[in-house]
Chain A
């Protein structure tokens, strides 16, 4: 199998693997960020340019470096290739530039954005963003629109990754929305107000890396970092949905349901709209236990990870303990205590 070296770490991978996927197989800090590529969506990638890397050696056969940085999400590896990501000043410099480009027209409305706390752009801005903006001009704005009764589109925040269009193309019977206009006037829209209505449309929310597509049944109910995600499942009758989800709870209330996401914020499998939107009742789900979170996730505030050691068995008692801790932390009084007072 061909061997590729990324930031000094070598790995053998199947021929045809992209640099990004090879890096993901190694894991850790050397994995380039990806805002548009989505391994489960065919044709995605290549657009956002945050995953660009330097190829310092093309291959064993042709050791010349590549003159331009290459998009790691769509460049296949070659045997003997050497790639620099975190070790390349050029890449770091360029990535700062791309993040700046992505932010110049972004509303920066994180305080009122439902995605805050689980937003890839926020994370990217944290890693590569500048302290100040060099952009003085007006930002482009669009009206918020409802696309169906369950999904809201907040175009101002969109980074035009095209993922939602691939979801519509590849998972739903037909696509009713698309990218309209061109250049920096491009927007995601249905053109005429038109509800997107099909069993799988909710997955657009999960693939959206930013807060452009959000779950209306959850909007403004809570900040994600106040919620605890639990692995859960139910018997789903939809042929393409396995009913395996994360339920996001506050106390014993389910605030929202999403697909399960992996380390790269990609869903493990797509879920149907019924599971996502219509089952907010505890009794509908079998809770498997808390979901593991990345160390650095804001959802992990309040030492949630530490406590998971106590809560990782799905007994009612352990779950309740965790919830009471939540309440205390948020200075809210648990129902039992309230009664006592």
Chain B
């Protein structure tokens, strides 16, 4: 049984409301932080080794220390609650169940950053969660945790929640800032980075919900204590939202030290495969990260046990590894068609591209169209190579990482499942029904393709 830093009180009845939350130790980190110097708090966070939980895994303490405090311009903290990465639903779970933890984290973090105006930006589809947060913030104002002269400390902080309206790209931090300013969610050209020129041109830090929620515990218990959990540079606990063909989908808080096998198979966590079919593949960190075939999931290419840590998950690079990303853990069994699934992801990125830069605007649509053709039996061998070439030309050449995020799943699918693409090309009549692998999983038809299982790229 792992440590519960974030979810310890999650099932306490009434924890959504202020009173119960306070009785369970709520807002104590604010009291403590107000007595510390901002730099001490930043130091604790640095010591904790906490890495951003939004996807990129950038060390939070370091990010905080980049914020420009010298210019004297107002500073802002913005919480990224846009959570739209397919497979990811941990932030919503936390905000819905224990909204005050986010409010508390926002206050404590704002103290560290010496920000006096902070925002929570939540995706528009979570409208009811928006209302929950709004209520929590109002309660915090009423109890003197927000507003002027917080708890008599002389420190002022205003915190508001604001929302998006259906655009995955607004999760990218500069697009989020644009959207928060009431504009289209077009990512900005970097540099300058938000730490120097962010919201309203002021120095700004953008952090994920989970990252912010970790801060109260770190302030209360010290960074060293947090760093004791986990392995190496993967410290603390992490929320994983699990979905797909597993017995127990949902949000789990895990120590960053358990093995993938334990996580998937044990009853404490995912409880193994839904309807007991064989595992085929896993997307371990949200739709953007490379898909891993079953044989590379529990063991790395070197034959070592794969762990739920940043390092182990990416062991082998993109050739044989993946990423822990946002913690959106999707399991697929043998009824899944990888081609169809890749087309599905491509459709998502095509739909969500902001359209500013040419490789992503044109490339995502092109890839989707080719994948549509392949999936529906109208593809050719050349199409597979063409797809490979297109993703290669998008990756790394765009303004923001959405281009990479669109390219990686396609690359990984071709890398590990080229045989399925070829099956679609060679047996178009067999794949006409979208459930073809439910009737005849790959294992049953692979003899049609000769003995060679995979063609390396």
Tell me, yes or no, whether B55 is within 8 Å of chain A by CB.
Answer: no
Per a CB cutoff under 8 Å, which of A71, A101, A102 touches B189?
A71
A71 cross-chain contacts in B, Cβ below 8 A: 189
Closest chain A CB from B365 CB (angstroms): 4
Q: Are A105 and B362 in contact (CB under 8 A)?
A: yes
Q: Are A98 and B397 in contact (CB under 8 A)?
A: yes
Per a CB cutoff under 8 Å, which of A48, A97, A137, A160 touches B355?
A160
Interface stretch (choices A141-149, A183-191, A282-290): A183-191
- Encode B329-370 as 1/0 by CB contact (under 8 A) with A: 000000000000000000000111111111101111110010
Known contacts A94-B393, A179-B184, A183-B364; A46/B369 CB under 8 A? no
Give A140's nearest chain B residue, CB to CB. B365
Q: Are A102 and B362 in contact (CB under 8 A)?
A: yes
A186 cross-chain contacts in B, Cβ below 8 A: 355, 361
Tell me, yes or no, whether B84 is within 8 Å of chain A by CB.
Answer: no
B12 cross-chain contacts in A, Cβ below 8 A: none
Tell me, yes or no, whether A24 is within 8 Å of chain B by CB.
Answer: no
Q: Are A137 and B362 in contact (CB under 8 A)?
A: no
Give A75's nearest chain B residue, CB to CB. B191
A185 cross-chain contacts in B, Cβ below 8 A: 355
B428 cross-chain contacts in A, Cβ below 8 A: none
Q: Are B365 and A98 in contact (CB under 8 A)?
A: no
A101 cross-chain contacts in B, Cβ below 8 A: 358-359, 361-363, 366, 393
Give A68's nearest chain B residue, CB to CB. B396
- Encode A157-190 as 1/0 by CB contact (under 8 A) with B: 0011010000000000000000101111110000
Q: Are A135 and B358 in contact (CB under 8 A)?
A: no
Tell me, yes or no, whether A45 is within 8 Å of chain B by CB.
Answer: yes
- Encode B13-31 as 1/0 by CB contact (under 8 A) with A: 0000000000000000000
B357 cross-chain contacts in A, Cβ below 8 A: 46-49
Chain A residues touching B, majority SS: loop
- Please tell me the number of chain B residues within 8 Å of chain A, measured between CB atoms: 26
Tell me, yes or no, whether A104 is within 8 Å of chain B by CB.
Answer: yes
A254 cross-chain contacts in B, Cβ below 8 A: none
Tell me, yes or no, whether B398 is within 8 Å of chain A by CB.
Answer: yes
Residues of chain A from 66 to 97 with CB closer than 8 A to chain B in the complex: 67-69, 71, 74, 94, 97
Residue of B167, B365, B369 with most partner-chain A CB within 10 A: B365
A159 cross-chain contacts in B, Cβ below 8 A: 358
Q: Are B358 and A48 in contact (CB under 8 A)?
A: yes
Known contacts A98-B397, A182-B184; A160/B361 CB under 8 A? yes
Give A73's nearest chain B residue, CB to CB. B189
Cα of A60 to Cα of B398 in the assembled complex, Å: 27
Per a CB cutoff under 8 Å, which of B355, B369, B396, B397 touches A183?
B355
Known contacts A71-B189, A101-B393; A183/B398 CB under 8 A? no
Closest chain A CB from B174 CB (angstroms): 12
Known contacts A46-B189, A137-B366; A160/B397 CB under 8 A? no
Q: Are A184 and B353 in contact (CB under 8 A)?
A: yes
Cα of A84 to Cα of B387 in the assembled complex, Å: 28
Per a CB cutoff under 8 Å, which of A74, A134, A183 touches B354?
A183
A13 cross-chain contacts in B, Cβ below 8 A: none
Cα of A182 to Cα of B164 in the assembled complex, Å: 15
Q: Are B189 and A160 in contact (CB under 8 A)?
A: no
Residues of chain B from 390 to 427 with CB closer than 8 A to chain A in the complex: 393, 396-399
Q: Are A45 and B189 in contact (CB under 8 A)?
A: yes
Closest chain A CB from B157 CB (angstroms): 32
Q: Are A94 and B353 in contact (CB under 8 A)?
A: no
Closest chain A CB from B378 CB (angstroms): 10
A47 cross-chain contacts in B, Cβ below 8 A: 356-358, 399
Cα of A102 to Cα of B397 in the assembled complex, Å: 14
Closest chain A CB from B374 CB (angstroms): 13
B350 cross-chain contacts in A, Cβ below 8 A: 183-184
Q: Are B397 and A49 in contact (CB under 8 A)?
A: yes
Tell me, yes or no, whether A52 is within 8 Å of chain B by CB.
Answer: yes
A104 cross-chain contacts in B, Cβ below 8 A: 362, 366
- Encode A92-126 as 1/0 by CB contact (under 8 A) with B: 00100110111011000000000000000000000
Cα of A49 to Cα of B195 in the assembled complex, Å: 25
Q: Are B397 and A69 in contact (CB under 8 A)?
A: yes
Q: Are A184 and B361 in contact (CB under 8 A)?
A: yes
B399 cross-chain contacts in A, Cβ below 8 A: 46-47, 49
Tell me, yes or no, whether B455 is within 8 Å of chain A by CB.
Answer: no
Tell me, yes or no, whether B454 is within 8 Å of chain A by CB.
Answer: no
Known contacts A45-B189, A46-B399, A104-B366; A182/B358 CB under 8 A? no
Give B185's nearest chain A residue, CB to CB. A182
Q: Are B355 and A182 in contact (CB under 8 A)?
A: yes
Closest chain A CB from B431 CB (angstroms): 20
B353 cross-chain contacts in A, Cβ below 8 A: 182-184
Closest chain A CB from B411 CB (angstroms): 15
Per a CB cutoff under 8 Å, which of B352, B359, B386, B396 touches A134?
B386
Residue of A48, A67, A94, A184 with most partner-chain B CB within 10 A: A184
Cα of A91 to Cα of B52 in the assembled complex, Å: 32
Give B351's nearest chain A residue, CB to CB. A183
A182 cross-chain contacts in B, Cβ below 8 A: 167, 184, 353-355
Q: Are A97 and B366 in contact (CB under 8 A)?
A: no
- Encode A36-66 as 1/0 by CB contact (under 8 A) with B: 0000000001111110100000000000000
Cα of A2 to Cα of B2 in the assembled complex, Å: 54
Q: Which residues of A contact B (CB under 8 A)?
A: 45-50, 52, 67-69, 71, 74, 94, 97-98, 100-102, 104-105, 134-135, 137, 159-160, 162, 179, 181-186
Q: Which residues of B contact A (CB under 8 A)?
A: 167, 184, 189, 350-359, 361-366, 369, 386, 393, 396-399
26 A-B residue pairings within 8 Å (CB atoms): A46-B189, A47-B358, A48-B357, A49-B358, A49-B398, A50-B358, A67-B396, A68-B397, A74-B189, A94-B393, A97-B359, A98-B397, A100-B393, A101-B358, A134-B386, A137-B366, A160-B355, A160-B358, A182-B353, A183-B353, A183-B354, A183-B364, A184-B350, A184-B353, A184-B364, A186-B355
Known A-B contacts: A182-B355, A185-B355. Give 10 more (CB < 8 A).
Answer: A45-B189, A47-B356, A49-B357, A49-B398, A49-B399, A71-B189, A101-B366, A102-B358, A181-B355, A183-B353
